[in-house]
Structure 1
Amino acid sequence: MKQDFFSRTDVRGALVGLAVGLVLALGLPFLPGVGAGLALRTLTVCAIYALAAAGVGVLYGRLGLVSIMQIGLVAVGGWATLRIYHATHLPFEVVMVLAALVTAVVGVLVGLPALRLSGLSLAIVTLMVAGALEVLVTYAGFPNGGNGFLGRVSGGTLAVIMPRPGLGQSDDEFFRYVGVVVVVVLALLRWLLMVRPGRTWAAIRQGEAGAVSLGVNTVAHRLLALAVTSAVTGVAGALLAAGSGILDPASFKAQQSVLLFATVLIGGAFSLLGAVIGGLFFYGMPQLLSTVGLDGNLVFVVLGLGLVQAVTTAQAGIAGQLAELWRRLRPRLWPRPRREVTV
């Protein structure tokens, strides 16, 4: 059937995005002022949170599902990564895949009761899930080399720090490692959006009744979307754990999920570029405000104004505005030659 294939334009755009992403991932550390220190570490975390933002964007942009539990799933991915590593000492790449699978299972289990909800009801339920995950992570803590299921050290025993991947020991090497992983995961997600599952998700968003009349199993496709986005978010948690070797429950508050959803809307929920912009806003904006001597909590004011603008005048977000600007500039930069008409 036609919808099993995608156009040359889609393929060309995906390849261009892949090439640009790899160039940025490998080349940014060489830029003056970026190659070391706080700036590079901030960009690394921004790139990681772009994966969590991509999960939010796929659920909302393709299925119309308002999920506000992604930061909780990031914590699940980080917890699973630390626990699996301290229990098995497997290579990080294997641990990351296993943590993604664990997060996918958790995401499906906690989201299963809310699959038939939508809109505000779904947003409230997923926010409550985020709050529950925050409580669980705060109570259990993150594994740090101890025994038992929770993997916590007791008494005066020192915590064990999980080492970085072998290919990402220094800050610049780890940035490149994270960049390549993020680009590959986003490329796979882009491919999935172009083939049958992604197009079916778009059909469900356009009209669930119409999709059901065509024989689409909407529950199964929503479960697939939830599993995929949860796995992608689990990869983000694994990379966060790899960057610091240990995680703090205070970094995964439920309110952060609300902030992440807002940044996705500002960046653009209908494209993966919007997810990258959302990751920059989510983590980079507070760091920027703190660097210039302002209170990091002002990010709520800045993003609140940006959210109002995105909802009222630019529903495609910054990514949509950039795409529209490119469509206007492209004919001027590369005008097509006129074809001579012969009679």
Structure 2
Amino acid sequence: MISFLARRNTRVGAIGLLVGLALAVVIPFLPGIGQGSGLFALTACAIYSLAALAAGILYGRLGLVSLMQIALVAVGGWVTLRLYYATDLPFELVAVAAAVVTALIGTLLSLPALKLSGLSLAIVTLMIAGGIQVVITATGFPNGGTGFFGRLPAGTVPDTMPRPTWGASDDAYFRYVAVVVAVVFLAVWWLLSSRVGRAWAAIRQGEAGAITLGIPVTRYRILALLLTSFITGLSGALLAANTGVLDSTGTTFSAQQSVLLFATVLIGGTFSLSGAVIGGIFFYGVPVLLQAWGVSGDLVFIILGLGTIQAITTNPIGIAGSLAALARRWRTPRRASRAREVTA
């Protein structure tokens, strides 16, 4: 049943992605949205949808609960800033290199927990996220200084990483991010429709059954860790370019934020690519919207807590799955009506 829902919602998600890419071209021209803080928030939502996608792949396709995705976003951002200040490479190469380094680090850190699942894996990955938070808080993010850590002396105005040439302005960078996100999502859609995706679905159904079918479970799990860590590292690179400088206190990339991201993924829908987009909006957009309304952003913990309970108990397919089901129910009577008209 789960694999059927995953395949069906993946097809729906691909259509949604194409619609989203078309909207990305139009949004910057909308009054009140395509400028200033509103467009910045939408760009951040799109970036965090990549991290949500990674968490959704691990849980929705393999049943693995990873609570360190935001920590890996920090790793990707750190490596991006360090490479930018240390080299003259264009942003695209820096971003890919940062994603590769993050993929290696994320996979190596996860190897001891490779045989774990459920609550055990969640606890281990949460501890890893806490450890990364401690390291980031102690070292800070590179800001133009010399040495391995690239830190300027205290009291010095930090350097700011510029955006890529094709995304210098706010609206241009939004489109830049939208294209990157769409390419990644479409690549994942293709992968989930391939033999790899079918193998992951079999592992999700039951590891013993997958082994019986001759599927090398460990190999496919490592592949999933590499892919999701790569995607998360790319998210960190895009975030570093969006802000130019990252928070050195570590609060933005705390272990608590990783838990919050996983909750938004459950609410959005782990079996659908569109659910990752909804997760990114809930993770970053909802707190920003609450603050714009004069409400404390901490209220998001109550909202997402209730939403997570509802997703776990009554709606495992999430918002994206529910919307797809509503669309199918709406289309079915129309098709039946047209069929009767043709018969008549």
The TM-score normalised by the length of structure 2 is 0.93
Count of paired positions: 335
Q: After the TM superposition, which of the residue ranges 324-333 and 174-183 deviates more from structure 2? A: 324-333
The equivalent of 1:40 in structure 2 is 39
The equivalent residue for 1:166 is 165
1:228 maps to which residue? 227
> Which residue number in structure 2 is paired with residue 144 of structure 1?
143
1:310 is the counterpart of 2:297 = no
- Per the alignment, do residues 203 and 330 of structure 1 end up closer, same or farther by CA in structure 2, a change over 3 Å counting? same
Matched, 1:205 2:198: no
Is 1:78–1:247's contact at 8 Å kept on the other side of the alignment?
yes
Partner residue in 1 for 2:327: 326
**Kept in 1: contact 2:9–2:324 (CA 8 A):** no
SS of residue in 1 equivalent to 2:89: coil
Correspondence for 1:187? 186
Change (3 A) 1:213 1:169: same
Deviation at 1:130, TM superposition (A): 0.3
| Deviations, residues 83-124 of structure 1 (Å, cap 9, x unaligned) | 111111211111111111011001100000001000000000
Residue 4 of structure 1 corresponds to none
CA distance in 1: counterparts of 2:323 and 2:282, whole angstroms: 16
**Contact in 2 for aligned 1:72/1:134 (Cα 8 Å):** yes
Aligned equivalents of 1:309, 1:67: Cα separation in 2: 20
Deviations 1:278-299 (A, max 9, x none): 1000011111111111111010
Distance 1:177 1:11 in 2: 24
SS in 2 for 1:296: coil
Shift in CA distance, 122/155, structure 1 to aligned 2, threshold 3 Å? closer
Query: What is the identity, as a one-letter code, of the residue corresponding to 2:309?
Result: V
Partner residue in 2 for 1:29: 28
Could you tell me how far 1:19 is from its partner in structure 2? 2.2
After the TM superposition, which of the residue ranges 188-197 and 18-27 deviates more from structure 2?
18-27
Cα distance between partner residues in 2 of 1:266 and 1:128: 23
1:18: Cα distance to partner? 3.9
**Do the aligned partners of residues 317 and 170 (structure 1) sit closer, same or farther apart at CA in structure 2, a change above 3 Å counting?**
same
Q: Which residue number corresponds to residue 134 of structure 1? A: 133
What is the match of residue 53 of structure 2?
A: 54
User: SS where residue 39 of structure 1 aligns?
Assistant: helix
How large is the Cα RMSD of the aligned pairs? 1.9
Q: Distance in 2 between matches of 1:11 and 1:271?
A: 5
Shift of 1:205: 0.7
Deviation at 1:32, TM superposition (A): 2.2
Shift of 1:160: 1.5
Instruction: Could you tell me which runs of 5 or more consecutive residues in structure 1 were left unpaired when the two chains were aligned.
Output: 1-6
Question: 1:265 corresponds to which residue?
Answer: 266
Match in the other structure for 1:337: 339
Q: Distance in 2 between matches of 1:206 and 1:11?
A: 17
Question: Could you tell me how far 1:11 is from its partner in structure 2?
Answer: 9.4
Amino acid in the other structure paired with 1:255: Q
Which residue in the other structure is 2:302 paired with? 301
Distance in 2 separating the partners of 1:250 and 1:14: 32
* Offset, 1:263: 0.5
> Which 5+ residue runs of structure 2 have no aligned equivalent?
1-6
Equivalent residues in 2 for 1:119-130, closer than 5 Å: 119-130=118-129
The structural deviation recorded for 1:81 is: 0.5
Residue 155 to residue 118, structure 1, CA distance change in 2 (3 Å): closer
- Return the offset for 1:78: 0.2
- Opposite residue 300 of structure 2, the aligned amino acid is V
The whole-number CA distance in structure 2 between the counterparts of 1:155 and 1:237 is 25
Say if 2:311 is the partner of 1:288.
Answer: no
Q: Shift in Å at residue 332 of structure 1? A: 4.1
Amino acid at match of 2:194: V
TM-score of the aligned structures, taking structure 1 as reference length: 0.93
| TM-aligned CA distance change 1:170 to 1:115, over 3 Å | same
In 2, the alpha carbon distance for the partners of 1:332 and 1:239 equals 44
Distance 2:25 2:286 in 1: 23
Distance 2:210 2:118 in 1: 18
Looking at structure 1, the residues matched to 116 and 308 of structure 2 have their Cα atoms a distance apart, in angstroms, of: 24
Using the alignment, how far apart are the partners of 1:333 and 1:31 within structure 2? 33
Structure 1 residues 332 and 30: CA distance shift in structure 2, 3 A = farther
